[in-house]
Amino acid sequence: MKLLINTLVRPYYIRNAGFLGVIFYLAFGFMRPTDHYALMAAILTSPFLFVLTTLLWALYTLRATVFVRQLISEPPHRFLLSARLLPPTIRWSGWVLVAVLLLLPVEGYASWMISHGVIHQLWVANGAIVGTVLALVGLSAGAIDHRIRHPYPTRTIRVPRPQRPVPYVLFFPGFLLRHRPVALLLTKTASLGLLVGVCRLYPTDDYDQRLLLICLMMSLLTHAPTCRACYEFETTWLRLLPNLPFSRTTRLTRYALTYALLWLPELPLLLYNRPTEITLTYVVLLWFTGLAWLLLFHARSYRADFNPDRWMQVLLLGFLTCLMLIMFGVPVWIWLAIGVSGCLLHWRMRP
């Protein structure tokens, strides 16, 4: 059991520290305790809100389970495939333990809701919560066991291959669509959901531009694993790329076009949901700031001292620092300048 915790559970929390930090900030940074109790009371009494909460828990379960399934397929962890030789009882007990530890955030919030339901004697809602959590744990454990028994599945749904040469800027987006569609879907869902949710907050109270800038930083945290995946894609499938006769400027321009394509869905969404207090120029400047910081994340991946296991923790600390600076009124054009200058500096230091 200790082996499974160290090889599957611990890496998940280390590499997703930034994502979990965003969830914690959304849950406890914007809302007061009284608002939390009001929200839980509404969830426990409204079937629609309960189903919506269940969907959010299911998305988190899907993200954690996909991470573990991908981790098992990596060469350093393929020794875990021999677990299929164990008896089913022992094997399933291990996967259930892993699933329970992966879903600790869901289980913690569900326990809080159950305690609130006990106070108000909402036994039907409490039973539904317990059943939902048990179902999510069982589905997660079953998905992990399925990957152990079928480590190299055959793809039944294939994306049609283009007949013409594909431009370089589409290489990485095509790789994500073919090999990591779930991770891409969850990333864009979290990012777009954050932007829409924050834009819808403006009519409820008196907010300024800082709230949208904070939301941008949280959206960038959700895209940080994608930037690392781009580096891993190149080092695995495009090893000859550094030896090709392309200047640094040409390569940086191509990366900018690639990330602009990945970051493009956020622009029309921001323009459509733009609060009346925010100008159109500020929204466009905000989008370019996000693009600059994505390029900075990508360029940072080429450093020799880069530690992928600590990367998300560094990003979380950086987010907290940026949050404090934003609250003190640092404008968006300074963040744009930091992103551009940081990207150019790391790009010049690239080997």
Q: What is the mean pLDDT of the chain?
A: 85
Question: Is the pLDDT reported for residue 183 higher than 70?
Answer: yes
Please enumerate in sequence order all residues whose Cβ is within 8 A of that of 294, keeping only pairs 6 or more positions apart, or say none. Answer: 220, 223, 227, 259, 262, 263
Of 110-114, 178-182, 279-283, 292-296, the poorest mean pLDDT is in 178-182
| Whole-number Å distance between alpha carbons of 126 and 114 | 5
Q: Is there a domain that residue 163 lies in? A: no
Cα dihedral 142, 143, 147, 148 sign: negative
- For residue range 76-91, what is the model confidence (pLDDT) as tens digits? 878 888 888 888 888 8
97 & 195 share domain: no
Give the Cα-Cα-Cα angle 336, 15, 183 (nearest 5 degrees).
80
* Better pLDDT: 315 or 134: 134
Q: What is the pLDDT of residue 101?
A: 94
Q: What is the pLDDT of residue 156?
A: 45
Quick one: which of 112, 109, 117, 154 has its CA closest to 136? 109
3-class DSSP assignment, residue 74:
coil
Give the model's confidence band at 178: pLDDT under 50 very low, under 70 low, under 90 confident, else very high: confident
41 & 112 share domain: yes
- For residue range 257-272, what is the model confidence (pLDDT) as tens digits? 999 999 999 999 999 9
Q: What is the pLDDT of residue 37?
A: 77
Question: Is the pLDDT reported for residue 325 higher than 50?
Answer: yes
196 & 147 share domain: no
Q: Is there a domain that residue 160 lies in? A: no
Q: Is there a domain that residue 339 lies in? A: yes
Q: Which of 123, 151, 179 is the last residue of a domain?
A: 151
Q: What is the pLDDT of residue 26?
A: 64
139 & 182 share domain: no
Q: Is there a domain that residue 219 lies in? A: yes
Q: Is there a domain that residue 158 lies in? A: no
Cα dihedral 171, 172, 173, 177 sign: positive
3-class DSSP assignment, residue 201:
helix
Token readout for 228 is 């690392």
Q: Which of 151, 181, 206 is the last residue of a domain?
A: 151
Q: What is the pLDDT of residue 164?
A: 75
Quick one: which of 304, 315, 309 has its CA closest to 346? 304
Q: Is there a domain that residue 157 lies in? A: no
Q: What is the pLDDT of residue 333?
A: 93
- For residue range 127-169, what is the model confidence (pLDDT) as tens digits? 999 999 999 999 999 999 988 888 776 554 455 665 677 888 8
CA 45 to the chain's CA centroid: 30
**pTM here?**
0.77
Residue 343 near residue 231, CB atoms below 8 Å: no
Q: Is there a domain that residue 161 lies in? A: no
135 & 227 share domain: no
Question: Is the pLDDT reported for residue 199 higher than 50?
Answer: yes
Q: What is the pLDDT of residue 27?
A: 65
Q: What is the pLDDT of residue 163?
A: 64
Residue 291 near residue 263, CB atoms below 8 Å: yes
Name the percent of the chain lying above pLDDT 90: 28
- If one counts the domains in the chain, the total is 2
Question: Is the pLDDT reported for residue 304 higher than 70?
Answer: no
151, exposed or middle or buried, with CB in 10 Å at 0-12, 13-18, 19+?
middle
25 & 103 share domain: yes
Q: What is the pLDDT of residue 162?
A: 59
Residue 41 near residue 120, CB atoms below 8 Å: yes
Q: Is there a domain that residue 156 lies in? A: no
Of 42-56, 102-116, 203-217, 299-313, the poorest mean pLDDT is in 299-313
177 & 316 share domain: yes
Q: What is the pLDDT of residue 172?
A: 92
- The DSSP code sequence of 30-73 is S--HHHHHHHHHHHHH-HHHHHHHHHHHHHHHHHHHHHHHHHHH
Question: Strand (E) positions, the chain?
Answer: none
Find the domain containing 122 and state its range: 1-151
